[in-house]
Amino acid sequence: MAATSVKSPTRKNGSSVASARRLKPEQIPGEVQDVLASTQVIDIHTHLFSPAFGKVGLWGIDELLTYHYLEAEFFRSSDTTPEEYWKLSKPERADAIWKALFAENSPISESTRGVVAVLNAFGLPAEASGLQEARRFFAVQSLESHIRKVLQIAGVSSVVMTNDPLDPDERPVWMSGGQSHPQFHAVLRLDRILWGWPQHWQQLANQGYAVDEDASGKSAAEVRRFLADWHKRMRPLYMAVSLADTFQYPDDSITSKILSEAVLPSCRELGLPMSLMIGVRRQVNPRLRLAGDAVGKADMRAVENLCRTFPDNRFLVSVLSRENQHELAVYARKFNNLMPFGCWWFLNNPSIVEEITRERIELLGTSFIPQHSDARVLEQVIYKWQNTRRTLAPILANSYQLLHADGAEITRQKIQRDVNRLFRGNFEKWTGLRAG
């Protein structure tokens, strides 16, 4: 599918008469592109942080270049070993990646091209000699206004964070009042409790929760008290966990026990969805650290069993294996408490996003959430959402042209209604997030 350039989103006040006008097939692609460009999106899963979190929030060119996606690609284009690389300072690592992936080779992978797109968005050169100018530019940005500018360019109205209550870097911020930036929303991320219980249960015990190594006795009730306490502190939009490709439900694991006896009942009590991100093969190459994870095909019967066993829970589900996508879409037809979302991580490449989005539209209409950025560095939202709009445009246009060919009237009003649902409405409905 030909790439189409997508203008940065601006609000449009198209007249109601014009937007109700019946479109000719040849007018549809332009209207779709315009609606996508002018509709701000809620970015429902990121690793970004609001300014209250200080250095935990990553931004600027050296962080963009040392993104773990680029570190993985770096080791394929350099003789530097991981052990030598980890001894370097952050700027030295960025210099090495810039040289190997941007100067000595063409940055045509999804993640390298993304850095070029960010530099271009700020009018900065992406030539081999450009790194110093980029560093000077980012060094003089003030974070608050930079965040506003970046989200405006990216067409993102709000960002949903990933917040771990057991993370020592985050905890002090939440314990001293938390954050209230209007464009950043919290999520209660539970990896250390749901599958890291052996390593982390004592942290809860030390904080006064009567839990034990086997999660027996009062442990489930005490985990629920912990979740209620953190719900008050964080006001999260949902609870979340990333699960391995081997995840099963039900089984006799502590993960299943805490999930069914504590987390899902708390989600029901607090009115929160539960996000399950399934399919990681963790640390297949530990030498690469954060870049060391891979992907595995999951047994989707776990999702089926959870949706059926807990009909009063709402699930957000993203799966990491391309081979699981069709199953996920079919399960979403069976369970209306299942909301598929995103083309996660190794799937966030135009060739795969296209395939996943087309099969979701064909099976689910507009009742799914097409993408999240998973951004770890602030400015990544610029290229990740530019790419999403660029990939979505021809797919949506083709859907409306087929609909027109089969006899329906297509108007900008209907396209806007559908894009609002995909970019915002499905998530607002699932989480109760007020529009804005």
**Contact residues for ligand HDL, defined by CB under 6 A:** 47, 162, 242, 277, 290, 345, 374, 376
**CA–CA dist 325, 297 (Å, integer):** 10
Least spacing, CB of residue 192 vs ligand HDL, in Å: 12
User: Based on CB atoms, which residue is closest to ligand HDL, 400 or 427?
Assistant: 427
Helix/strand/coil percent split, the chain, to 5 = 55, 10, 35
User: Based on CB atoms, which residue is closest to Zn ion, 293 or 374?
Assistant: 374
**CA–CA dist 164, 351 (Å, integer):** 32
Select the span of 147-155, 181-189, 215-223, 373-381 touching Zn ion (CB under 5 A).
373-381
Instruction: Let me know if 281 is exposed, middle or buried by CB neighbors in 10 A (0-12, 13-18, 19+).
Output: middle
Given ligand HDL, Zn ion, none, residue 379, with its beta carbon under 5 to 8 Å by kind, binds none
Residue 9: cis peptide before it, omega within 30 degrees of 0: no
Q: Which two tokens stand for residue 188?
A: 């209660």
**CA–CA dist 406, 401 (Å, integer):** 9
Select the span of 188-196, 206-214, 256-264, 367-375 touching Zn ion (CB under 5 A).
367-375
Given ligand HDL, Zn ion, none, residue 170, with its beta carbon under 5 to 8 Å by kind, binds none
- Long-range (24+ apart) CB contacts under 8 A made by 172-175 are 173/52, 173/53, 173/54, 173/56, 174/230, 174/233, 174/234, 175/233
Which of 388, 304, 290 lies closest to 344, judged by CA? 388
User: Based on CB atoms, which residue is closest to ligand HDL, 72 or 363?
Assistant: 72
User: Based on CB atoms, which residue is closest to ligand HDL, 200 or 225?
Assistant: 200
Least spacing, CB of residue 137 vs ligand HDL, in Å: 25
Least spacing, CB of residue 26 vs Zn ion, in Å: 40
**CA–CA dist 13, 393 (Å, integer):** 20
Given Zn ion, ligand HDL, none, residue 346, with its beta carbon under 5 to 8 Å by kind, binds none
User: Based on CB atoms, which residue is closest to ligand HDL, 162 or 255?
Assistant: 162
User: Based on CB atoms, which residue is closest to ligand HDL, 72 or 121?
Assistant: 72
User: Based on CB atoms, which residue is closest to ligand HDL, 31 or 374?
Assistant: 374
Which of 245, 263, 246 lies closest to 193, judged by CA? 263
Least spacing, CB of residue 71 vs ligand HDL, in Å: 11
Least spacing, CB of residue 289 vs ligand HDL, in Å: 10
Least spacing, CB of residue 175 vs ligand HDL, in Å: 23
**CA–CA dist 220, 211 (Å, integer):** 8
**CA–CA dist 331, 97 (Å, integer):** 41
Least spacing, CB of residue 238 vs Zn ion, in Å: 13
User: Based on CB atoms, which residue is closest to Zn ion, 66 or 401?
Assistant: 66
Count other C-beta atoms under 10 Å from residue 216's C-beta.
11
Q: Which residue bears the tokens 């030539």?
A: 127
Which segments of 165-258 does DSSP mark as H helices, in order?
Answer: 171-175, 191-194, 197-206, 219-234, 254-258
Contacting Zn ion within 382-401 (CB under 5 A): none
Given ligand HDL, Zn ion, none, residue 382, with its beta carbon under 5 to 8 Å by kind, binds none
Q: Which two tokens stand for residue 46?
A: 């990121």
Q: Which two tokens stand for residue 348?
A: 């966030």
Least spacing, CB of residue 184 vs Zn ion, in Å: 15
Given ligand HDL, Zn ion, none, residue 376, with its beta carbon under 5 to 8 Å by kind, binds ligand HDL
**Single residue of 31, 327, 374, 418 touching Zn ion by CB under 5 A:** 374
Contacting Zn ion within 315-334 (CB under 5 A): none
Least spacing, CB of residue 11 vs Zn ion, in Å: 29
Least spacing, CB of residue 375 vs ligand HDL, in Å: 8
**CA–CA dist 44, 8 (Å, integer):** 19
| Nearest residue to Zn ion on Cβ basis | 374
- Cβ within 8 Å of residue 209, ≥6 positions away: 222, 223, 225, 226
User: Based on CB atoms, which residue is closest to ligand HDL, 294 or 403?
Assistant: 294
At residue 239, the 3 state secondary structure works out as strand
Given Zn ion, ligand HDL, none, residue 345, with its beta carbon under 5 to 8 Å by kind, binds ligand HDL
At residue 240, the 3 state secondary structure works out as strand
User: Based on CB atoms, which residue is closest to Zn ion, 327 or 374?
Assistant: 374
User: Based on CB atoms, which residue is closest to ligand HDL, 322 or 421?
Assistant: 322
Which of 292, 393, 412, 273 lies closest to 340, judged by CA? 273
Least spacing, CB of residue 139 vs ligand HDL, in Å: 26
**CA–CA dist 186, 51 (Å, integer):** 13
Angle between helical axes of 380-405 and 350-364 (0-180°, round to 10): 40
Rule CB under 5 A: is residue 43 a binding residue for Zn ion? no
Residues interacting with Zn ion, by CB under 5 A? 374
